[in-house]
Structure 1
Amino acid sequence: MKRCLEITAISGEDLRFHKKPLKNAIVVVRADSADPCTTKPAAVDGTNPRWNEKLTLDVPLHGEFVTVEVHCKRSSWRDHKLVGGVRIPITEILGGLTPENYLHFLSYRLRDNYGIRNGIINISVKSTGPSYVMPRPQLELRVPTGERKMASGRPELGVLTGERKVPSGVIVTGVPVWLAQPCNY
């Protein structure tokens, strides 16, 4: 199962390759080891290219990062050269309490192959495919005979934990805890 992200490459700011303005700048977007998506070359050459192009990217459920890179090509080169890139955690896009199909406008500082700052990329990101959403809590009805019945009429499934019931189908994340003796200084 995959999640689908709609990433719009909007523009770049102060992008240079070896202290020279860019020509034929493109944006390359990929999720972990997935196939990359690329934009067409920017309509305006220079240090502030604009693309305004939407890219659709399939992200595996186990995916952790989306990589956004800017490449440029000079007429004398055979292939594109990396101007700068950034790795964006998926949790920054899909995590938290943001509703499904929420449009994020993000700006990131790019770094080149040597880790040196090289401009800023402006993008927007929206989740367009299925993503995991916590199920709505079900109302519990007390039937006069003492039985429990769910309001939806579905059978009651799950694990009884004291007085709280954890419904089946909910993903539970466990965090290991190391119990050690406190430090005495």
Structure 2
Amino acid sequence: MDSKSHTHRTERTLELTVLSAEDLRVDRNLNTENIYVVVRAESIHSYATGTAGSNSNSHNNFSWNEKLLVDMPVHARSITLEVKCKTSRGSGSKDIGVARVAVSDFLGGSVPDDCLQFLSYRLRNWEGKRNGVVNFSVRLRTRERVAATPEMVVGSCGFQISRVSVTGGVVTGVPLLWNNYASRNV
């Protein structure tokens, strides 16, 4: 067995986009321009966003909108998102909050694994006290996306999607089950 096939069986790749964090209480001695997020998937590997400053309208809200490709072992039961702040000395970081997310919350349920899901989780500091919310999107990354016909495609999440030009337009989605139900009961 070659190393590629062995790796494929022991890991899955998550496409996880860290969107934002809200209502963070940050020690006033820390520079809020140095807030970042570390993602772990029960592995020694970790994945980090770049630093983000607070939004202009609030010093407690931060945004990244940064996509990470996270290798997750198949035995993993949770992923962890840690919000941290680089210290002014540059030699370390201070923990702001942590959220542990069960893999079963976004994989293996009624929604297909490769469907993009948006989630928000409460952050807790290391004393267990609430410290804001982290917002992110996640889906299982698949090797190949099936080519679609130019007029109408059925997405993996159960919606019919009209194709639009890249220059603009509106995309409408209609749940397949609703569409079938409506046509039978008209």
Task: State the TM-score bracket (shorter-chain normalisation).
Answer: 0.5 to 0.7
Would the alpha carbon gap of residues 64 and 44 (structure 1) be closer, same or farther in structure 2, given more than 3 Å must change? Answer: same
- 1:64, distance to aligned residue in structure 2 (A): 0.6
Equivalent residue letter for 2:132: G
Cα distance in 1 between the residues matched to 2:89 and 2:35: 15
Cα distance in 2 between the residues matched to 1:89 and 1:78: 32
How many residue pairs match? The answer is: 130
Would the alpha carbon gap of residues 17 and 65 (structure 1) be closer, same or farther in structure 2, given more than 3 Å must change? Answer: same
Give unpaired runs (5+ residues) of structure 2: 1-8, 144-186
2:60 partner SS: coil
Q: 1:55-134 to 2 correspondence within 5 Å?
A: 55-76=68-89, 78-129=91-142
- 1:77, distance to aligned residue in structure 2 (A): 5.2
1:97 partner SS: coil
Equivalent residues of 1:5, 1:129 under 8 A apart? no
The alignment status of 1:27 with 2:40, answered yes or no, reads: no
Structure with greater helix percent? 2
2:75 partner SS: coil
The residue aligned with 2:27 is 18
Q: Over aligned residue pairs, what C-alpha RMSD do you find? A: 1.9
Would the alpha carbon gap of residues 36 and 90 (structure 1) be closer, same or farther in structure 2, given more than 3 Å must change? Answer: same
1:16 partner SS: coil
Equivalent residue letter for 1:128: R
Cα distance in 2 between the residues matched to 1:20 and 1:50: 21
Equivalent residue letter for 2:121: Y
Equivalent residues of 2:54, 2:60 under 8 A apart? no
Would the alpha carbon gap of residues 99 and 43 (structure 1) be closer, same or farther in structure 2, given more than 3 Å must change? Answer: same
Percent identity of paired positions between Structure 1 and Structure 2: 42
2:33 partner SS: coil
Equivalent residues of 1:34, 1:59 under 8 A apart? no
State TM-score, norm by structure 2.
Answer: 0.65
State TM-score, norm by structure 1.
Answer: 0.65
Would the alpha carbon gap of residues 19 and 119 (structure 1) be closer, same or farther in structure 2, given more than 3 Å must change? Answer: farther
